[in-house]
Amino acid sequence: MWDVKISLFIHVFSVATWFGATTLMAMFLRNATRTDDAAIMTNSLATAHRWNLTMMIPTSVLALITGIYMLMQYDANKPLWLLVKERVGSLFIIVFILVIALYGKKLLKAAKDSASNSTTASIVKRYIMILNLSVLVMLVLIFFVTTKI
């Protein structure tokens, strides 16, 4: 009984932290693109990518682990909202980790190699788009789970 409540607390805390920090990183990078200085944009992108690797990926893994643990407490007849959360949520976390780790590293390298401000700005905007899409998917999942459709 207590282990499920503690898991639920850790799960909700992880998802809330992940959601809020991802939103904050997108705003941080959006602010960096307004400077029109390639060095500042690249430095901001490197900082955001480092935060993603050191904070958001472990937080998302923690949400995945606690979510799987809580799902194991149900019997075989799971409601639809729980199946969606289990399958789409788990798949999203794995895709998020791969995209941030691999494609984010590629974007960071491209930004460091870029010579012009406009190219660096477009690279940073792609990273912002990835963060905004992940926030949107999280929002849809949170809505679906809380309404228990």
Chain segment 87-126, per-residue pLDDT in tens: 888 999 999 999 999 999 999 999 999 878 899 999 999 9
**Six token digits for residue 145:** 């789970």
Instruction: Return the biggest CA–CA distance within the chain.
Output: 58
With the C-alpha atoms ordered 24, 126, 137, 47, is the resulting torsion angle positive or negative?
Answer: negative
Give residue 109's domain range: 2-147
Q: Rounded to whole angstroms, how far apart are CA atoms 27 and 22?
A: 9
How many domains would you assign to the chain? 1
Q: Rounded to whole angstroms, how far apart are CA atoms 61 and 5?
A: 18
Q: One digit per residue, pLDDT tens: the chain, 149 residues?
A: 788 899 989 999 999 999 999 999 999 999 999 988 999 999 999 999 999 999 999 999 999 999 888 888 877 777 887 787 888 889 999 999 999 999 999 999 999 998 788 999 999 999 999 999 999 999 998 898 888 87
Q: For residue 134, with 0-12 CB atoms within 10 Å meaning exposed, 13-18 middle and 19 or more buried, which class applies?
A: buried
